[in-house]
Amino acid sequence: MKSTFVKNYGETRQAGFTLVELLVSLALFSVVLTAAIGSLYTVNQASVRVNAMRTVLDNLNFATEAMSRTIRTGQNIVCGGVDNQTGAPNCPFGNSNGAGTAISLDSTIDGQTVEYRWRTDTTTGNGVIQKCTVENGSVSDDKCVALTAPEINVQRASFYVDGADATDTKQPGVMMMIEGTATAGPDNIEPFDIQTYVSQRAGE
């Protein structure tokens, strides 16, 4: 009878967990859970930053596409802008003289002469690409709207125009080079460098 009691008692102890084993298991589970939560948080934050940056860059793509569309369907391309044009309409070596950089053309989309220019926003201090409506051969600031978002800082914009002179036989085209930084949060600042060439499709 005594030996049977000892045997049954021993089997009961083998089927359970000791307090030490339970504490060790809980500690391991806590470590794994903490690591998993930390990884999920990091992945989520990275996803938020990527989505925010994508939204900012989508705005930049919209600005360049808006200029490209007008150049393709416009007429009378002038490098330097109608209100500060001092030479020939061509500038194959570029027009990147600071915040005065501009390119103007007579848009066939809305029948108005528009000018795209690079300026410094007085509120944010960032460089912006503006679309301006030309009236009476000049441009006023109240006729300009920013195409780029406040999170975009255009630090350099150059326009290379060739074939715009009516005396040559070249197809008018514009090379645009835009550099700067895009900000999507205090710790998420990325540089960008865009180069694109647009050829005019409409006849002179």
pLDDT along the chain (204 residues), means of 10: 50 65 86 86 77 81 89 83 69 64 68 85 87 83 89 88 82 89 82 90 60
Burial label for 174, CB within 10 Å (0-12, 13-18, 19+), is buried
User: What pLDDT, on a 0 to 100 scale, did the predictor assign at position 85?
Assistant: 64
17 belongs to a structural domain: no
191 belongs to a structural domain: yes
* Domain extent for 176: 42-199
Instruction: Count CB-CB contacts under 10 A for residue 155.
Output: 13
The DSSP symbol for 98 reads G
Q: Number of structural domains, the chain?
A: 1
30 belongs to a structural domain: no
19 belongs to a structural domain: no
178 belongs to a structural domain: yes
User: What pLDDT, on a 0 to 100 scale, did the predictor assign at position 204?
Assistant: 47
Q: Does an H or E element contain 94, and which?
A: strand 91-95
User: What pLDDT, on a 0 to 100 scale, did the predictor assign at position 198?
Assistant: 92
Q: Does an H or E element contain 71, and which?
A: helix 19-73
Q: State whether the Cα torsion 89-147-188-50 is positive or negative.
A: negative
10 belongs to a structural domain: no
